[in-house]
Amino acid sequence: MTARDRILNAVRAGLPTPRATPDAIAAEARALLDAPEARRPALAAPGLADSFCAKAAALGTTVARLPDLAALPEAVRGYLADHGLSATLALQPAPSLAVLDWSGIERHSAIAPDEPVALGLARWGIAESGSLVIHSGPDTPILLSFLPLHHIVVLHEDRLLPHLEDYAARTAGEAPPRNAILITGPSGTTDIEGSYVRGAHGPGFLHVILIAPEARPAD
């Protein structure tokens, strides 16, 4: 008998018979998700963007708001200058970013082990927790979000979802990517005496640039 059969047999031996039907189990599982508002925190502010910003700021994420994507390169130049960083950037190879006017900034798509700054797009934002959602893909390397010291993330306001369950609902039924990552604040650790230190292995600085909704180009 294989280990699989031994384990499943042992599990079944500890459970009552007859076993419930898959449909009954699915109905029970769905019922466990009913009325989620009674069991999750309320948003920090009435609007999704304000709630997202309040939660993000509490975690040490910095947030800037821009009227449109065209204003992004100028905002990035300002961020680099403010942090005394040289004008070089690992840029996510996304078409909507490539078409912008990045003059004055050296850009590359390969991410160095000690990359100072990288910029990428978030697929979704979650207002409840100030989280950014990133899905791996051909133009979304996962290491772009983990190797740099400064991680700049562009989030379109109309991609904000109120709660974690809303993200689960939006993606239910889709083929999941290799990695779906919720990023909530810069990398940190409390492993030495419980004292909080930023920049453990991932980015020590997380900067979100929120793009106002009406300015988003049609896909």
Number of residues counted as binding another protein (CB under 8 A): 77
Q: Are 109 and 89 in contact (CB under 8 A)?
A: no
Q: Does 148 bind another protein (CB under 8 A)?
A: no
Total count of residues recorded for the chain? 219
**Which of 64, 66, 75, 164 forms a contact with another protein (CB under 8 A)?**
164
Q: By C-beta, is 17 or 103 nearer to another protein?
A: 17
Taking the C-alpha atoms of residue 160 and residue 165, their distance in angstroms, rounded to an integer, is: 13
Q: Which of 23, 181, 152, 190 is nearest to 76 (CA)?
A: 152
Q: Is 185 a binder of another protein (CB under 8 A)?
A: yes
Q: Does 218 bind another protein (CB under 8 A)?
A: no
Q: Which stretch binds another protein (CB under 8 A): 66-74, 80-88, 129-137, 208-216?
A: 129-137
Is residue 171 a contact point for another protein (CB under 8 A)?
yes
> Site for another protein (CB under 8 A): which residue of 43, 80, 122, 181?
181
Rounded to the nearest 5°, which phi and psi values hold at 93?
A: -75, 60
Q: State the Cα–Cα distance between residues 162 and 129, nearest whole angstrom.
A: 9
CA distance 163 to 55: 12
Straight-line distance from the first to the last Cα atom of the chain, in angstroms, rounded to the nearest whole number: 54
Token pair 């979000």 is at which residue?
145
CA distances from 147 to 38, 114, 142, 200 (A): 38, 6, 9, 11
Query: Does residue 141 touch another protein according to CB under 8 A?
Result: yes
Using the rule CB under 8 A, which residue among 186, 205, 209, 211 binds another protein?
186
Contact between 194 and another protein per CB under 8 A: yes
Among 73, 117, 122, 129, binds another protein (CB under 8 A): 129
**Between residue 92 and residue 111, which ones bind another protein under the rule CB under 8 A?**
93
Structure tokens at 52: 């997202």
Q: Quick one: which H or E segment has residue 46?
A: none
- Residue closer to another protein by CB (options 95, 178) is 178
Contact 182, 132 (CB under 8 A): yes
Question: Considering beta carbons, is residue 73 or 141 the nearer one to another protein?
Answer: 141
* Member of 202, 205, 209, 211 binding another protein (CB under 8 A): 202
Q: Which of 46, 84, 95, 191: binder of another protein (CB under 8 A)? A: 191
| Residues in a beta bridge with 153 | 120, 208
The answer to whether residue 187 forms part of the interface with another protein (CB under 8 A) is yes
Restricted to residues 16-75, the positions that interact with another protein (CB under 8 A) are 19-20, 22, 25-26, 28-29, 32-33, 36, 38-41, 55, 59
